[in-house]
Amino acid sequence: MNKKLFSTLLIGTSIVGSLAFNSNQVKADALNGIVTTTRVAHLYNNDGKLIANRALAANTPWLTNSRTELPEVGSVYQVATHEFVKADDVEFQHGHATTGRVNSGSNGALIYNYKDGNYIATTNKLNANSKWQYNYTDTANGKTWYQVATNSWINSDDASTSTKIGNTGIAKISYAPSAGTDLWQGYGTNKVATGQKLANGTNWRFSQKVIDANGDSWYQIGSNQWISGAFTKITNSNFDSTAAHIWDPNYAALQVNKNSAIYSDSKYSASSQGRVSAGKLVQVDSTVQEGNTIWYELSDGGWLPSSAVSEIKTTRSPIILNGKSKSQAISDVIAAAKQQLGKPYVWNAKGPDSYDCSGLMQYVFRQATGQNIGSWTVPQESAGVKVAINQLQPGDLLFWGASGASYHVGLYLGNNEYLNALRPGTNVKIDKISSYFAPSFGVRVLQ
């Protein structure tokens, strides 16, 4: 065994190398996984003989790639060349190690236990529409399985890494390239282009909205036909509390506190283009601060003042690192950002040739992590944990302006420096934090 010895115990995780079997063994069943000892576990050789003066420490994980039977011992897992541990002394962990969050369905999610290659249903269920951290996945019986606790699994019949939202309305294509935006069969990582493009100015009724595992929004406009929310202005015919409290990369939500005019511009002197009643939930896609008043632009047109509304706070699920360490993810974000130095500022540009401030942050985090932190500053504010300026770490976002109405964002690099796309006429550059242009707060996206 190529492991370090501590007295009579072996402590650590085995790296399984080239494994051999002799004629005394029953044919092994190939598998890949981890066995964790539930007690001090004796080791046996190919002949089923006890290996003296060595054992595996309790509660230690060991890689295995086969399960077999040994004479006089019974069922065992191989943990190194010619060395085995009893199945009764370990718990087998199968599947692929990966972390993420999964949502149980509207009817909850039945919990299964895994044993001897099979998933066995229990009598327990997870609560409906609840969120769970998983640390292993598996594919079996045409389903994806998620481990949400020790040997507790749920499957894709009852759960999804996407969040389905039941609001309905009209999606107007408004920000697409000149060629239009793609119509997709499916959404997220499973989408397939239909070859059809939808032009700016066209309106499409949607029956469902989804936020996928990467943080992107999608709207269903036909039978499994979907469009990206990145290019839309939305008029909701049904927008309830559940929908309003779910983080969206393109929109934020407000509750109207008192009857108010809807203004045609972000100032009280602007003309009225309608009214809104107290208690209504509305969706906004930009903010402007004028004096002590924050003005919110409604997704279907018009402006409301902060005196008439209150914010509905949402929080993005933490970024999934997909096997990367936090330090590696931070390094990748900073490297992706520095590759954009010198590119021009263009209002509302999202890259890769030009950017505005929030478009730059969205681009570099997607490049480094594959995930969407939001398309403008307000969703980006809630893509992590708020931190004070004196607590900044490299990889944090810096924001200027009031929370809920920030007007600028940059990436903190360390040593009092940040990278940003500042204003028209400038290029992506590195600046120093100063009292002349001091940021208001930070957000730690990578946790």
Q: How confident is the model at residue 7 (pLDDT cuts 50, 70, 90)?
A: very low
What is d(CA 59, CA 386) in angstroms, rounded to the nearest whole number?
37
Classify residue 130 by its DSSP letter: -
Query: What digits encode the pLDDT tens for the residues 80-103?
Result: 988 999 999 998 888 887 778 888
| pLDDT value for 28 | 56
Taking 70 as the threshold, does the pLDDT of residue 14 lie above it? no
Query: What digits encode the pLDDT tens for the residues 265-304?
Result: 999 999 999 999 999 999 999 998 888 899 999 999 999 9
Q: How confident is the model at residue 323 (pLDDT cuts 50, 70, 90)?
A: confident
**In percent, how much of the chain has pLDDT > 90?**
68
Beta strands in 72-126 (DSSP E): 74-80, 83-86, 90-94, 96-104, 109-115, 118-126
| pLDDT value for 322 | 76
| pLDDT value for 49 | 93
What pairs with residue 336 in β-bridges? none
| All residues at 6 or more sequence positions from 252 whose CB lies less than 8 Å from its CB, including other chains | 283, 284, 285, 296, 311, 312, 314, 378, 379, 404
Looking at per-residue confidence, does 129 or 230 come out higher? 230
| Nearest in space to 188 (alpha carbons), one of 211, 168, 204 | 211
String of DSSP letters for 24-64: TSPPPEEEEEEEEESS-EEEE-TTS-EEEEEEEPTT-EEEE
| pLDDT value for 73 | 92
| pLDDT value for 19 | 37
**Count of C-beta atoms within a 10 Å radius of residue 316:** 22
Residues of the chain with CATH 2.30.30.40: 252-312
String of DSSP letters for 105-118: BTTBEEEEEEETTE
Task: Tell me the CATH architecture of domain 164-244.
Answer: Roll (2.30)
Query: What digits encode the pLDDT tens for the residues 106-126?
Result: 789 999 998 877 899 999 999
Query: What digits encode the pLDDT tens for the residues 177-233?
Result: 899 999 999 999 889 999 999 999 999 999 999 999 899 999 999 999 999 999 999
Taking 90 as the threshold, does the pLDDT of residue 138 lie above it? no
Token pair belonging to 161: 């890494």
Question: Mean pLDDT over all residues of the chain?
Answer: 89
Q: Is 96-161 CATH 2.30.30?
A: yes
What is d(CA 109, CA 126) in angstroms, rounded to the nearest whole number?
5
| pLDDT value for 13 | 41
What pairs with residue 172 in β-bridges? 203, 233
| Model-wide pTM > 0.95 | no
Alpha-carbon dihedral 37, 38, 42, 43, rounded to 10 degrees: -30
What pairs with residue 113 in β-bridges? 120
CATH annotation of 326-444: 3.90.1720.10
How many CA atoms lie within 13 Å of 99's alpha carbon, on the beta-carbon side?
11
- pLDDT (average), residues 148-173: 91
What pairs with residue 347 in β-bridges? none
**In percent, how much of the chain has pLDDT > 70?**
93
Residue pair 152/114 in contact (Cβ under 8 Å)? The answer is no
Can you tell me whether residue 167 is helix, strand or coil?
coil
CATH annotation of 252-312: 2.30.30.40
Q: Is the bond preceding residue 352 a cis peptide, omega within 30 degrees?
A: yes
Can you tell me whether residue 326 is helix, strand or coil?
helix
| All residues at 6 or more sequence positions from 23 whose CB lies less than 8 Å from its CB, including other chains | none
| pLDDT value for 29 | 62
Q: What is the 3-state secondary structure (H, E, C) of 194-228?
A: EEEEECCCCEEEECEEEECCCCCEEEEEECCEEEE
Query: What digits encode the pLDDT tens for the residues 340-389?
Result: 999 999 998 999 999 999 999 999 999 999 999 999 999 999 999 999 99
